[in-house]
Amino acid sequence: MDKKTPFKKLLVANRGEIAVRVMRTARAMGYRTVAVYSQADAGAEHVALADQAVCIGGNAPADSYLRIDRIIQAAQDTGADAIHPGYGFLAENEGLPAACAAAGIVFVGPSAQAIRSMGDKAGAKALMIDAGVPCVPGCQGDDQSPDTLLEQARRIGFPLMIKATAGGGGRGMRLVTDDSSFADHLISAKSEAKSAFGNDVVLLEKAIINPRHVEIQIMADRYGNAIHCGERDCSVQRRHQKVIEEAPSPAVDADLRARMGAASVAAVQAIGYEGAGTFEYLLDADGNFYFMEMNTRLQVEHPVTEAITGLDLVELQLRVAAGETLPLTQDDVQFRGHAIEVRLCAEDPAAGFMPQSGVLNTWRPAPDLRVEHGLRDGAEIPPYYDSMVAKLISYGATREDARRKLLAGLAETRAFGVRTNQTFLSACLAHPVFAAGQATTGFIAENADAVLPDPAQADARGAMILAALLRAGPDTGLNHDFPTPLRLSRNDAEFVPQVRAFKYGACHVAMPDAPDMDLRVLRRAGQEVAFELNDSLHHAVLGQGADGPVLQLDGQVLDYSDLTFAPTVSADAAGGDGKVRATMNGAVVSVDVAVGDSVTAGQKVVVLEAMKMEHTHISTVDGIVSAVHVTAGAQVTAHSIVVEVDPA
C-alpha cells in the first residue's frame, strides 16, 4: 500500500526564529514557503523571508496564531499543501492535525491521536508504564476531590509535585514539602491550570530533589522505523523554564544513553508514533531515570542535537511527513563534540525577569556562533508573545571548548534598545558549578547571589565609565579643566558623574558615594572604544537604548536613561503620588478596583499580561481611587497611568 504524501508548498504556522529556521531548510529542499502573521508582526523577518505571507488576525495569539480556521484558510488560499507548526502555539494541539486531515493538507508532525494520547500527562504516564518505561511514583488523580488527593499525597510521601495533566511550561505545577500546605498548593495549581489550559485536572508525583533534566530526541516514520538522536541536558531552568541546554549531558555515559534511548524508541514504536518527538526524564544522583512527559513536536533546543550528530531534524521531519522512510538507522547516528545553547530573552533579570518590549535599535549577533533568530536593526519586540527572541549555539570538540566559545560569543553579541537576559546568561555559563558540569535543576536558585547579583555596584561603576567614554576622546589636545556633569538613571537609581577631560583622552571622573576614577580613552572605531583603567586595557561598545546610552563591557550590558536635560522629579512624584503606572507594554487582564474604593498600600489594583506572564500592579499609598484609566482586555504602554489614588 502506497503511504506517500508528497507536497510542494509549506505553510509555517508560527513566528519569529522558529518560522525562519523551518523556512531555511524547506527552501533548501526546494519547497516554496508561506508565512502567517499577526498585525503586530507585519514587518517581521519571517514574513519577509517567505515566498508568500498571509495576515491571520490581530495581535493577541487567540486572535491570530491560535486560530486553526484562519491557518487552514490561509493554506487553501495560497495553495499550501503542508503545514509545519514549529513549536508552541498549536504544535501540541490535536485540533490542527485533525483540521489538516479534514482539508487534505499534510501535517508535519504526529497524528491527532498521538498528540491527544501524549498531551495528557496522566494518560501518557499510563502508556509509558505499559511500555516498560520507568516512571516517577505517584497517582494519576482519577478522583480529584481534595480529601482523596491529600490521602494519596500522604501515601506517596513528601516532598511531591502537583502537576496539571494538560499543558506545560511550569504552569499548574507546585512543589509541596508537607501535608499542612498541600490544600493551598492544590487550590493554586488547579486555578492556574484552569486559567492556562481550560482544564484543572492534576496528578501527583514523588519529587526528585535537585535532579538532572535530561531528554531524548527521537524520530520515527510511518512504517515502524524509529531512532534516537541522543540526549540533551536541560537542567539549568528558572521556574521550570529552560535557560541553557547542552548535548551530550555531562551526567550521561554511553551505557545510560543506550538504555534511555532504547526505552524511548520502544515507547514510540508501541504507540505507532510518527515524526519528531522528545522524551523528557528526571535523572537522579544514582543514575536512575524517570519519565516526565513527551513533547510531540520539535524542541526549542534541537540545534544542539543537530550540532553533535550532523543531522538536520527539520529535514527529517519533512521527509517523514512526505511518507519517506527514515534515511538512516540507529547505527548511522554518531555523536561528535559538544554543543551548548542559551535562550536570549527580552526580559529584565534585575526586575524579577520582567518581560520587555519595544524596538531593538541594534542587533549584531556573534559571527562565530550559530544564532537562530528573526531579528534585524529596528525590529519590533511586541508584548504579546513569548519573551525568547533568539538562541545562541556554540560547538566545540570538548564541553569546555563549547563553553568558552559561547561566553565569548555572548560578549560580542549586541542587542541594544530592549533589555535582555544576556548578562545573566554569561553569569550562568561562567559559574564554577556549571563549568564543572554539575548543574542540576536547582542551579539558579542555589546560586542566585552569583548569577543574579545586586546590580547597584555595577550600575554605579558603569555610569562613571560611560560618562568618561562619552565626554573624553583620544583625538583632542585640549584641556577641559572643568567638570562636565552627566545625569543617568538605571534600575530606579540616579547617578551624576562629573567628568573633567584632559589632553589625549585622559579624564577624571568623580561621583558622590563612589571612589574617583582616572581613565584614558585610547581609540574609537564606530561603536567600539578601547580605554585604559587601573593600568589595564579594556574594550567596550557604546550603543543607543530606548531612553539613553548603552555600555557593553566585560560581559555586561548596561542601559541607562539620560536625564541630563530632564527636570528633577521629587520622590513623592516618582512613586508616592498615588499614580499606578504600567511597568511594561501589555494587556489588561483584570481591574480590581473602581472609582471611590478605599485601598491600602500594597493592595492589588490591576493585573497586566505580557509575553505569557501575568504581573500584579499595586497601590503605593493608602487612599481613595479617584480614576481608573483602563478596562479588561485593553492594551497599555509602559509607564502609562492605569489607576490614580488620592493619598489619605
pLDDT one-digit tens code per residue, 323-350: 999 999 999 999 999 999 999 999 999 8
Q: pLDDT (tens digit, 9 = 90+) per residue, 208-237?
A: 888 999 999 999 999 999 999 999 999 999
Give me the catalytic one of 297, 399, 487, 500.
297
* Phi, psi (deg, nearest 5) at residue 413: -75, 130
Q: What is the predicted pLDDT for the residue at 283?
A: 94
| Residue 58 clears pLDDT 80, i.e. is over it | yes
* CA atoms of 376 and 126, how far apart (whole Å): 46
Per-domain boundaries in the chain: 9-108, 137-206, 213-451, 456-562, 571-647
Largest CA distance in the chain: 88
Question: Of 170-184, 340-354, 416-430, where does mean pLDDT reach its minimum?
Answer: 170-184
Output the pLDDT for position 216: 98
Q: How confident is the model at residue 121 (pLDDT cuts 50, 70, 90)?
A: confident
Architecture of the domain whose range is 571-647? Beta Barrel (2.40)
CATH 3.40.50.300 fits 213-451, yes or no: no
Q: How confident is the model at residue 168 (pLDDT cuts 50, 70, 90)?
A: low
* C-alpha 154 chain-centroid distance: 35
Q: Let me know if 24 is a catalytic residue.
A: no
Residue of 442, 385, 410 lying closest to 613 (CA atoms): 385
Q: How confident is the model at residue 609 (pLDDT cuts 50, 70, 90)?
A: confident
Q: Chain-centre distance of CA 119, in angstroms?
A: 21
Angle, helices 313-321 vs 302-309, to 10°: value is: 100
Q: What DSSP string describes 505-547?
A: GEEEEEETTEEEEEEEEEEEETTEEEEEETTEEEEEEEEE-SS
Q: How far apart are CA 413 and CA 233, in angstroms?
A: 24
Percent share of the chain, pLDDT over 70:
96
DSSP assignment letter at 578: S
Q: pLDDT tens digit string along 65-102?
A: 999 999 999 999 999 999 999 998 899 999 999 999 99
The CATH fold of domain 9-108:
Rossmann fold (3.40.50)
Q: What's the mean pLDDT when you consider all of the chain?
A: 91
How far apart CA 245 and CA 82 sit, in angstroms, is 30
Q: Class for domain 456-562, per CATH?
A: alpha beta
* Number of residues that make up the chain: 648
SS3 labels along 406-456? HHHHHHHCEEECCCCCHHHHHHHHHCHHHHCCCCCCCHHHHCHHHHCCCCH
CATH superfamily membership of 137-206: ATP-grasp fold, A domain (3.30.1490.20)
- pLDDT at site 572: 47
State the average pLDDT over residues 474-489: 74
